[in-house]
Amino acid sequence: MRRPRVPVPARAVHPVRAAALAAAAALVLSACSGEAGAGAATSAGDPESCPGEVVDVVVSVGHWGDAVRTLGGDCATVTTIVDSAAGDPHEFEPTTGDLAAFEDAELVVVNGAGYDSWASSALAGLDPAPAVVEAAEVAGIEGGADGRATGTNPHLWYSPADVQATAEAVTAALSELSPDAASTFTASAESWAAELKPYRDAVAELRATATGRSYAATETVFDLMAAELGLTDATPPGYRDSASNETDPAPGDIAAFETALGDGSVDVLVHNTQTEGSIPAQLRDAAEDAGVPVVDVTESAPPGAGSFVAWQLDQLQQLSDALGGA
C-alpha cells in the first residue's frame, strides 16, 4: 500500500494537472513500442541505511539522472528512463515498460519546455499524481499549449544556474516526501555541491578568457553554456532559427554559415555529434577546411563519460584548448 502524498513547496514542485486525459492517453498509447525500455537504468536505495522512507523517483532524461542519484543517495530509488546517448533524445518514444515506471513514482523529475513532452503525457492520467520537479518551471520558463516554450532553449542542463536551482528543488521535494531523511538529503546536497565545484571553477576560469570570442553552432544545445562563458554567437540567424525549430535551413543560410567560417568571423565551431544529417557534417568539414577549431559536444552524456561533472569538464577543456589555438 502506497503511503499518502505529502504537500510539496511552491515553485519547486507541483502536482501534475490531469487535463485532456483522453488526448494524453492517445499520445501515450501511440508511443508504446515494446515491453521494456532498453535505455532505462535504475539505482536502488538502501532502506537499511536510510533514516526515513526510501522515495521512488523517476527521471525522464539522463541529463538530470546523475544529480538526482547523488541527491537521493541511499534514500531514493531512481529510475532514469532515457539513460543512453544512442540516438536523438528529441525523438524518443517510450515503451510500455517505460510508462509503467511512472505508476509507482512518488517524485518525477522532468526537463520540461517541450523537451520531454512524452513524460508529461505519461503523467497526465495518473491518480494519485506524484510530486514533480520540472527544470523549466524552476528556471521560470512557461511552456506553450504543447509544453514547448516558444523561442526558449530547452537544454537547461547546460546552464550552471539552472543545474543548481533544479538540484535545490529536488532536495526540497525529497525532504517533503521523506521528512525523517531530511538531514540525509541535506548532506547529499552538500556532497553534490562539492562535486560541482570543479565544474563551476572551470566555467569561471574559461569565462575569463572566452568573453568576447565568437562561436557558431550546428545546433543550439550548447548555447546556454556559451552565453554563460561570454562567447558571442556568430551563427547566422536564419540557420539558428531553423536549428531551434528542427527544420531544414535554407540554402542561403548554409551558404552564410560557410562564409562566416571562411572569413574569420568564427573562432570555434560547436558541433553536436548526436545530430544526424549531412548538413552538420558539411559545416564541420567546412570549418576544418577553413582552419576553424571544432569542439564536439553531446546532448546526452556519452557512454563512458562518467558523471555529469566529468562529462561537462571534458567539453569545457576541449573548448579551452580550441580557443587557445584559435
**Count of the separate structural domains present in the chain:** 2
| Inside any domain, residue 193 | no
| Inside any domain, residue 161 | yes
Separation of first and last alpha carbons in the chain: 61
Task: Indicate whether 238 and 149 sit together in one domain.
Answer: no
Report d(CA 115, CA 61) in Å as an integer.
9
- Residue 56 φ then ψ, to 5°: -85, 115
Task: Indicate whether 220 and 305 sit together in one domain.
Answer: yes
Asked whether 65 and 80 are in contact (CB, 8 A), the reply is: yes
**Matching residue, cell 526510501:** 54
CATH number at residue 262: 3.40.50.1980
| Inside any domain, residue 155 | yes
Task: Indicate whether 65 and 168 sit together in one domain.
Answer: yes
Report d(CA 42, CA 45) in Å as an integer.
10
Report d(CA 273, CA 305) in Å as an integer.
14
Task: Indicate whether 52 and 170 sit together in one domain.
Answer: yes
| Inside any domain, residue 205 | no
Proportion of the chain above pLDDT 90, given as a percent = 69
Structural domain of residue 288, as residue ranges?
A: 211-325
Confidence of residue 275 (pLDDT cuts 50, 70, 90): confident
Task: Indicate whether 281 and 158 sit together in one domain.
Answer: no
| Inside any domain, residue 3 | no
Task: Indicate whether 156 and 217 sit together in one domain.
Answer: no
Cis bond before residue 128 (omega within 30° of 0):
yes
Exposed, middle or buried by CB within 10 Å (0-12, 13-18, 19+), for 41?
middle
Three-state SS at 222: coil
Task: Indicate whether 232 and 172 sit together in one domain.
Answer: no
Encode pLDDT of 77-110 as tens digits. Answer: 999 999 866 556 667 888 888 889 999 999 999 9
pTM, entire model: 0.84
Report pLDDT for 219: 93
| Inside any domain, residue 158 | yes
Task: Indicate whether 285 and 166 sit together in one domain.
Answer: no
Task: Indicate whether 215 and 169 sit together in one domain.
Answer: no
| Inside any domain, residue 203 | no
Three-state SS at 233: strand
| Inside any domain, residue 112 | yes
What nine digits make up the cell of 139?
528556471
Encode pLDDT of 185-219 as tens digits. Answer: 999 999 999 999 999 999 999 999 999 999 999 99
